[in-house]
Amino acid sequence: MTITTPELPDETSFSYRGASLFCEDVSIAELARQFGTPLYIYGRKAIETAFQEYDKAFGKQPHRVMYAVKANSNLALIALLARLGAGFDVVSGGELQRVIAAGADPSRVVFSGVGKTDAEIAFALEKGILCFNIESVPELDRSSRPHRRPTCPCLGARQSECGCQDPSLHLNRPEEQQVWRRL
């Protein structure tokens, strides 16, 4: 009986050697024996190559490649992406803590997500994140309170002068426009 192995795309870190599957130079069967299953395995070379190709596609155009931590909050993955120069999009204080624990620079973090708590906003400001994506008028007001105005790393300005707005957030009432102008 002949065992046929499927062909894998060249851009992955996975390949067959005979009937055995490998990730880069490591046997998947050996990893399963060592760590048990289910087991999540990522190829460092594939991640590095994909990141570098994506980053390179922008050419000389100023840009930041931001990784959405909610996609996979594995500390080793976050650390690898940080070493490659990625920034991070987080949606909670817990995700921000994971980014910091992985050794990434908080000044390369954008904090998105609805329902940020006062504690999460304060923690993010204390750590010097790049920017908030403001999702609601009350959140805008909470993030711009006078007692929360450290220097903003994205503009070199006061935090109260910096903000990112959800394009679907309509600031039509005068009090909403006033809050936004304070940023």
pLDDT in tens, 93-140: 999 999 999 999 999 999 998 888 889 988 998 999 998 888 777 777
Q: 65 and 33: one domain?
A: no
Q: 36 and 61: one domain?
A: no
The pLDDT value given to residue 139: 75
The pLDDT value given to residue 82: 98
Q: 110 and 163: one domain?
A: yes
Question: Which of 3 and 47 is assigned the larger pLDDT?
Answer: 47
Beta bridge partners, 66, equal 87
Q: 4 and 75: one domain?
A: no
Q: 151 and 103: one domain?
A: yes
Beta bridge partners, 131, equal 110
Q: Does residue 34 form part of some domain?
A: yes
What's the structural domain count of the chain? 2
Q: 36 and 57: one domain?
A: no
Domain that holds residue 7: 1-41
Q: 66 and 126: one domain?
A: yes
Q: Does residue 146 form part of some domain?
A: yes
Q: 111 and 154: one domain?
A: yes
- CA contacts within 13 A on the Cβ side of 4: 2
Q: 37 and 58: one domain?
A: no
Q: 67 and 119: one domain?
A: yes
Q: Does residue 165 form part of some domain?
A: yes
Q: Which helix (H) or strand (E) holds 140?
A: helix 137-143
What is the domain-level CATH number for residue 177? 3.20.20.10
- pTM attached to this predicted model: 0.73
Q: 160 and 112: one domain?
A: yes
Query: E strands within 8-94?
Result: 14-17, 20-23, 26-27, 66-68, 87-90
Q: Does residue 117 form part of some domain?
A: yes
Q: 94 and 158: one domain?
A: yes
Task: Give the separation between CA 33 and CA 145, rounded to whole angstroms.
Answer: 54
Q: Does residue 46 form part of some domain?
A: no
DSSP state of 36: -
Distances (CA, A) of 34 to 16, 123, 151: 19, 39, 48
Q: Does residue 47 form part of some domain?
A: no
Mean pLDDT of the chain: 80
pLDDT in tens, 74-98: 999 999 999 999 999 999 999 999 9
Q: Does residue 140 form part of some domain?
A: yes
Sheet containing 20-23, strands listed edge to edge, beginning at the edge strand earlier in sequence:
14-17, 20-23, 26-27
